[in-house]
Copies of this chain bind each other. A is one copy, B any other.
């Protein structure tokens, strides 16, 4: 079934005017007489005329829509970022198309191709954990396609970026743990390819060394699919807990990994914080309801989305190529609860 909508032609035919006159009347051009304007506007109102955004896009060579690529919408952090993106985008007259990479490089690449082939004016992206080869993004960026990174950025591509202070966030958290006497602190990391994983590792190491604790590489485990693959978290935890020198605390680098740990603990009847303490990077709105209530490092997700979108719109709407790119670093919030 075709849904036939009203066009400017229908108005022109009905009123015995040309389409140009109708167009000008609707845009309140000075060239059109008051009478004609009134006639046109009233009739347009009556038949509920709406300009066709597709035709406008073709004419103006812009779609007034933004593309977003994240690993998963069903993730508190990203859905909060998206809230921020949406609010800024709509207030500036843009709409928004989302794509999920589900942490797959191939999906990310396809999504990127799709969006970039002129169905959006610019792109906000947090790369997938799998992504090691950035050429698909680099190419676009080099051809002048506006891209802004948030959260999981790509160092070697020069454009606006918005992240949190990952180093400081983790440093504070680990510091808190060492201060409480924890000595064997494991780091369940996201993919080792992500910049933020490295930054966080540095914060972890710094805090340990300041507490005179030697870094034990067997306590640092990577989940290269971000916990998306079923037994990923279980496997690394098995490894950690199989060792003779068990950890007394765990730092999990994302929401998915944190809940993964909790599920593991529940299954193996490991008590938190009695047997092991837990701190996670988490924006889960219910982390205080967990058993136990979680100590978390929280990111200003909404703000991140807003800032990133403003950056992107700046790139899109700028008359001349932008050369000076900024990386905005936001502060995390550290919330101590029962799990430590």
Chain A residues close to B by CB (< 8 Å): 1-5, 50-55, 57-58, 61, 63, 65, 73-74, 76, 79-80, 82-83, 86, 95-100, 113-114, 117-119, 121, 143-146, 259, 262-263, 266, 284-286, 288-293, 315-316, 318-322
Contact = CB atoms under 8 A, between A and B. Distances in A.
B262 A3 contact: no
A2 B144 contact: yes
Copies in the complex: 2
Give the one of A54, A57, A288, A320 with max B CB within 10 A.
Answer: A54
The SS class assigned to the A binding surface is loop
Given A1-B146, A96-B97, A286-B286, A119 B291 contact: no
A97 B95 contact: yes
Given A4-B144, A95-B97, A289 B315 contact: no
A50 B286 contact: no
Contacts of A2: 61, 144
A303 to B, nearest CB: 15
The 4 nearest A-B residue pairs measured at CB: A291-B291, A74-B79, A50-B117, A54-B57
19 contacts: A1-B315, A1-B321, A1-B322, A3-B146, A5-B117, A5-B118, A50-B118, A52-B117, A52-B118, A53-B118, A65-B97, A74-B80, A86-B100, A95-B99, A97-B97, A263-B288, A263-B289, A290-B291, A291-B293
